[in-house]
Amino acid sequence: MTVSAAALKTATQTTAISGPASALMQKIKNRNAIVAVIGLGYVGLPLILGFADAGFPVLGLDVDANKIQKLRAGKSYVKHISDTSVAAAIGKGKFETSADLNDAAKADAIIICLPTPLTKQRDPDLSYIISTSKAIAPCLKRGQLVILESTTWPGTTREVMIPLLEASGLKSGVDFFAAFSPEREDPGNKDYNTRSIPKVVGGDGPDATALADALYSSFIDKTVVVSTPDTAEAVKLTENIFRSVNIALVNELKVVYDAMGIDVWEVINAAATKPFGFMPFYPGPGLGGHCIPIDPFYLTWKAREFELNTRFIELAGEIIANMPRYVVGKLSEALDTRFHKGLNSAKILLLGMAYKKNVDDMRETPTLKLIDLLEARGAVTAYHDNWIPEVPMTREHPEYAGRKSLPLNAAMLASYDAVVIVTDHDDVDYALVSKHAKLVVDTRNAMVTFDANNVVKA
């Protein structure tokens, strides 16, 4: 028998709970439950500020001492989150921060918001979740709620996190409560925020579901209850697989239409006027961010356990992974056709280091892959991005740490053989680029309003 989301939510609101669950529910309703968030990045920081704004005492936990220091000073390290928001939370007198995970023992509810990257073999790397679960297990106490938000394969909450927590001697659903609620943050999106984006919740049993639903409902406009943590985990993967497959499709169409002399951007914009049956997706130089380039392969990995192939997902990944090579090919062709110049020793300026426009996040950015490909062919590269003034140390590309953004001016543009627009930030002076760059390879349709013969779309 299938149960609707509405019926499930009604059930969580009407089911009687007792014992430690009842005590925690009362604390949540009174807003005196202490909420701890482990991992204060793009997901964890806005989440804990939301709880603080709703009146809960909050505890921010992160092993990065620099983040803790800034928060204690009332400063934000995420551009789209203001210092004012942080200072307001600190000013309430209920916002504490710590780099010691043992402090999780103080909390009534613990929310884990940690990275779940892939290995070089595209296998899930749950090391952050595993190490954190092991770290908090000894200080787990009866009546606590533990929620995982990190994107992962269906079954992680039940098969990985809960057993590690139960090593404490406490049992899920009896002594403590566990749930999964996928993060849905979209940094830089001015139309939606943590409060307005519906929150999916799936608990390990009805008490856990009811508690997690009540906690998030305290400040999020709408929650969507599903039957299990596995279902909630699958929801997140489905959302990002949908995007990945459609983005791969329009990138493949871009290659095909380009060969036919057709502008894929014009095609998409015209198709988008259809009021039904079509949703626009847009091509680019590759995919970045912490979700779409990674999450689909969590399901691919898990599917092998059931002797199933995810050919559609893997094909989409192959198409997207090939886009940086396509861009380099277009750049090489344009340099040869226009200037009889090869990539060897060519000076290339890349506009954009962030993975998407108007954010200071460069996780999985295609810019680094482009630099890899260009420098392997002998090109000299540099970048401009006011949002990423310096490349930080990353696990994937430690060799690029410390590279700094160059200023964007007429002399700088003219000194490069070509400019590649990778990220279409709003703060870039595209008129200046159009006027002074010898060649512009535009992967984002940023130059569409300029009738310039030095622009090549890629």
Q: How far apart are CA 376 and CA 369, in angstroms?
A: 11
Per-residue H/E/C for the chain: CCCCHHHHHHHHHHCCCCHHHHHHHHHHHHCCCCEEEECCCCCHHHHHHHHHHCCCCEEEECCCHHHHHHHHCCCCCCCCCCHHHHHHHHHCCCEEEECCHHHHHHCCEEEECCCCCECCCCCECCHHHHHHHHHHHHHCCCCCEEEECCCCCCCHHHHHHHHHHHCCCCCECCCEEEEECCCCCCCCCCCCCCCCCCEEEEECCHHHHHHHHHHHHCCCCCEEECCCHHHHHHHHHHHHHHHHHHHHHHHHHHHHHHHCCCCHHHHHHHHCCCCCCCCCCCCCCCCCCCCCCCCHHHHHHHHHCCCCCCHHHHHHHHHHHCHHHHHHHHHHHHHHHHHCCCCCCCEEEEECCCCCCCCCCCCCCHHHHHHHHHHHCCCEEEEECCCCCECCCCCCCHHHCCCECCCCCHHHHHCCCEEEECCCCCCCCHHHHHHHCCCEEECCCCCCCCCCCCEEEC
As given in the structure block, the two tokens for residue 49 are 């500020």
CA dihedral 312, 315, 319, 322 (to 10 degrees): 160
Is 291 tagged catalytic? yes
CA distances from 69 to 51, 53, 113 (A): 20, 21, 19
Helices 323-339, 311-321: axis angle to 10 degrees equals: 30
Query: Catalytic residue among 291, 334, 350, 440, which?
Result: 291
Count of alpha carbons within 13 angstroms of residue 68, beta-carbon side: 16
Q: Are 342 and 332 in contact (CB under 8 A)?
A: yes
Query: What's at 59, amino acid-wise?
Result: L
CA distances from 244 to 156, 197, 235 (A): 22, 20, 14
Residues forming the active site: 291
